[in-house]
Amino acid sequence: MGFPPSSFYFFISLLMGIFISISSSSWFGAWTGLELNMMSFIPLITIQMNSYLSESALKYFLIQALGSTFFIMSSCMFLSFTQVSSSLLLVSLLLKLGSAPFHFWFPQVMSGLTWLQVMILMTLQKIAPMFLISYISSTFSNLNKIIYLSTILSAIMGALGGLNMMNLRKMMAFSSINHMSWMLISVVISDSLWVIYFIFYSIISSSIVILFNMFQTFTLSDFMKSSQISMPIHSLLMSLNFLSLGGLPPFTGFIPKWMLTQLLINNNLLVPLIFLLSSALITLYFYIRISIFLFFFTKPSSATNMKLNMPLYFLPGSLLFFNFLMLFLPLIFIFI
């Protein structure tokens, strides 16, 4: 299910809220942008009279309103209680972001959304809080310990929460929480590295979500019931996209994790690195589980019964090609 044409204005105001937050010179302006972003995303959720969409919109509104309350309260206390207010400001942004230990709302909201709404929540809705966290980290270096704690907890919760998960939207939610741990730790090290990781993550996860949306699959059992997913090329593409999202070399998803691992070693952040690599192995396990599922349950004989749908092949083509750029990296060393 796509968005109606009337939702275009809400999408534009959602982007405006992001730009206002990241370009504001005051915390009040950043709060205004966050509020505009939240109030623009809620109409995009409730595009249909559906109990699941209404429940997700209500949960999202309550959590974001709570985060905004902490945000504006900490901003008012900033001149009198700088240390306490800066810590509360960081906590409010972690709550809005859905990072552990404030991750409880993220899978619940994701489970009631459509795939296109899931893609917005996993990508665009993380931009403004992440930029504000990077501003706080560069200004108040003593808050890095809170970021380290949230990084470790996000890595653990994101990895363990996705195990034995049959709901694909909840699995992508816990995967997003796990990838959030990599982005949070990169905020402390470099202002530009988390942007690079976020771009790689957004493109790879969006390509998976686009395929899920085209096939309208929401659980693992839907793969067996769908006639479209039985196409061998679709099963192969989705399997390799999951492996790329898990950071398995030589796929593109391995590039930002490789860069961040090297920087963590150079900065002697070995304890967070151990948790990050361990959680990456666990998440790769349930990615491989889905890939094996697709390989074994593909029915090549049904490919002849499927009608040719040109947008089905060309719409996500550019996103899918991005996941395989790393495969051509060894060719650079051959020609040098």
Of 98, 99, 84, 192, the C-alpha closest to 148 is 99
On average, the pLDDT of the chain sits at 83
pLDDT at position 223, please?
65
CA gap 271, 283 in Å, rounded:
19
Q: Count Cβ atoms below 10 Å from residue 72 Cβ, excluding itself.
A: 17
CA gap 199, 234 in Å, rounded:
24
pLDDT at position 31, please?
92
Decide: residue 229, CB within 10 A, 0-12 exposed, 13-18 middle, 19+ buried. Answer: buried
pLDDT at position 306, please?
44
Radius of gyration of the chain from Cα atoms? 20
Residue 179 corresponds to which tokens in the numbers above? 């990838």
3-class secondary-structure state, position 163: coil
Tens digit of each residue's pLDDT (9 = 90 or more) over 26-73: 888 999 999 999 999 999 998 877 888 889 999 999 999 999 999 988
β-pair partners for 167: 219
Residues across the chain:
336
pLDDT at position 286, please?
83
Those residues of the chain that have pLDDT short of 70 are: 1-2, 223-234, 295-336
β-pair partners for 246: none
Residue 63 corresponds to which tokens in the numbers above? 């959590």
Model-level pTM? 0.89
CA gap 80, 10 in Å, rounded:
38
Q: Count Cβ atoms below 10 Å from residue 139 Cβ, excluding itself.
A: 9
